[in-house]
Amino acid sequence: MAVSMSPKQKVYQGVLKEIRQFIDNNQLESGDKLPSERELSEKLQAGRSSIREALRALELLGLIETRHGEGTYLSTYRSLQTVELLSSFILQKSVTKGDLFSTKKMLEKEAAKQVFYDLDENDLDRLRSIIDNSELLPYDKHVMFFEYLFDKTKNLLLKKVWQLMERFSFTINKSYYKPSFYEELLQNYMTNQYGLIENLFNGVVLPYED
Amino acid sequence: MAVSMSPKQKVYQGVLKEIRQFIDNNQLESGDKLPSERELSEKLQAGRSSIREALRALELLGLIETRHGEGTYLSTYRSLQTVELLSSFILQKSVTKGDLFSTKKMLEKEAAKQVFYDLDENDLDRLRSIIDNSELLPYDKHVMFFEYLFDKTKNLLLKKVWQLMERFSFTINKSYYKPSFYEELLQNYMTNQYGLIENLFNGVVLPYED
DNA sequence: GTTCACAAGGTGGTCAGACCACTTAATCAT
DNA sequence: ATGATTAAGTGGTCTGACCACCTTGTGAAC
């Protein structure tokens, strides 16, 4: 095993790193083919079994896809089977309502702050129309309002994490902030008061629930 | 390979299921020990390499923990949230390095702020010993340092989300802040300067990488 | 009896080589 | 041309062999 590695790192972890680098260097994209196991084994000077351990891990993560007799490819679509299998590993131990709420709030606060300098007139109008729309339920307003903000952050991961928590907390209750909250936040945006955002969120102790 | 399995299922996937069942049947909990690889190999009538492929995958997911010379243990992680998050955003990458880094940084900042008023002398000593330990690599220091902070937040979900990102970013690169960062943060804690934490994190633009 | 050093056994880490199953492409016979 | 056959390449799996590491127990020295 010649995969350069820091002390006590396992070979398969080094292989993981090498593979990532290979993908980078060769600009591989979804659907592209990786070198064969034997080729990687020789090139990285590691046993084929170690190569396989790394590939298996990547496979379970859904990052690659292997086709018997063909080769290994960068994954293109998501495999449901994997997810199901993983889910079955789960034992109860659910997150507390408190953890969920405070973490979600934190994400919302952060999004609200991050977009502060990127909002223009148009954005503010949009946000206003959401909170003024009497057709919408408070909870729906909440979701739409923040969805808009998260989109503005341009951080897909951040939005994804928030959505997951939103979806999960949805199964518990539909929570949102008191109506004046959104109004004040918008006010802070319009009057350019960055510093007050933090305080606004910190003032929220308990959410409203449906 | 006698692991009962539907057509074309790979042995390691069957092994995965068997292991889950084993955990169920024996009521194993976090920290408990799994049978040895050789024992599983014999019991499930599968080659040790197949057993290992399954274990490696579980390890990368953070569901188990292996200790050289000792055995394999159920990890203390293990949670629905972890798996759900994993499967959803990892499978549909488009998550950029930048998103990952900034989201992770955000979580770390938030943890650093949340624990501000809960740290006592003992905590500060612990943190200091981590950053002063010359045996540790910068990346390991980073992980240990923030792991400590996340533990102090008492918010399991927050920690899990962070761990998840840490683990995922690990497959890309081992990133950490410049050494003086931790020093300054600790300094802010000692001199009771809550306000400076935000600035400290905002000052971080790019991480160091290994 | 207590303590310490060391040997033995168990466990994960890794490798090499052997087959098997499957896919693709080249080859050959029609 | 067309279709069947063959060969080569690839993943899938097993076996057996070492190595490195940890725990435990044994026995020697005190």
Using one digit for the tens of pLDDT, what is the confidence trace for B77-136?
444 444 444 544 443 445 577 888 888 999 999 999 999 999 998 999 989 988 888 767
pLDDT at B95: 58
Q: Over the range B60-85, which residues count as b (16 or more CB within 10 Å of their CB) and which as e?
A: bbbbbbbeeeeebbbbebbbbbbbbb
Q: Where are the domains of chain B?
A: 11-74, 81-209
CB-based contact B155 A102, cutoff 8 Å: yes
> Which of residues 46 to 65 on A have a Cβ less than 7 angstroms from any strand C atom?
46-50, 53
Q: Coil, strand or helix: which one is B158? A: helix
ipTM exceeding cut-off 0.90 for this assembly: no
Residue nearest to nucleotide C24 (CA to C1'): A70
Using one digit for the tens of pLDDT, what is the confidence trace for A58-71?
887 667 889 998 99
**Could you tell me which residues are beta bridge partners of residue B74?**
B64
Q: Coil, strand or helix: which one is A174? A: coil
Nearest by CB: B80 against A6, A90, A165: A90
CA atom of B66 to C1′ atom of C2, Å: 35
Architecture of domain A11-87: Orthogonal Bundle (1.10)
Using one digit for the tens of pLDDT, what is the confidence trace for A161-191?
787 677 656 555 778 898 889 999 999 999 9
Q: Which nucleotide is nearest to B71 (CA to C1')?
A: C11
Shortest CA gap B156–chain A (Å): 7
CA atom of A74 to C1′ atom of C26, Å: 28
> What mean pLDDT comes out for the span A61-90?
61
CATH code given to domain B81-209: 1.20.120
User: Do B166 and B70 meet the contact criterion of CB atoms below 8 Å apart?
Assistant: no
Q: Which two tokens stand for residue A55?
A: 């590939």
Using one digit for the tens of pLDDT, what is the confidence trace for B150-196?
999 988 778 877 877 776 665 556 788 988 899 999 999 999 888 89
**Can you tell me the distance from the alpha carbon of B136 to that of B152, in angstroms, rounded to the nearest whole number?**
22
Question: Maximum distance among all alpha carbons in chain B?
Answer: 64
Residue A122 confidence class, pLDDT cut points 50, 70, 90 = very high
User: Is any atom of strand C within 7 angstroms of residue A8's beta carbon?
Assistant: no
Residue B8 confidence class, pLDDT cut points 50, 70, 90 = low
pLDDT at A101: 85
* Domain spanning B11-74: CATH 1.10.10.10: yes
Domain A97-209 CATH superfamily: GntR ligand-binding domain-like (1.20.120.530)
Q: Which two tokens stand for residue A25?
A: 């260097």
Q: Which two tokens stand for residue A8?
A: 């006590």
Protein-strand D interface by C-beta, 7 A: A 34, 36-39, 48-49, 52, 55, 66-72; B 1, 10-12, 41, 45-50, 53, 67-70
CB-based contact B99 A49, cutoff 8 Å: no
Q: What one-character DSSP code corresponds to residue B51?
A: H
Placement of tokens 């299922």 in the chain: B9
**Ranges A52-61, A144-153, B65-74, B149-158, most confident:** A144-153
CA atom of A31 to C1′ atom of C26, Å: 26
pLDDT at A87: 37
Q: Which nucleotide is nearest to B52 (CA to C1')?
A: C12
Question: Which of B101, B106, B202 to probe the A interface (max A CBs under 10 A)?
Answer: B106
Shortest CA gap A189–chain B (Å): 20
Per CB-CB distance under 8 Å, the chain A contacts of B57 are: 56-57, 59-61
Nearest by CB: B155 against A99, A155, A160: A99
pLDDT at B80: 40
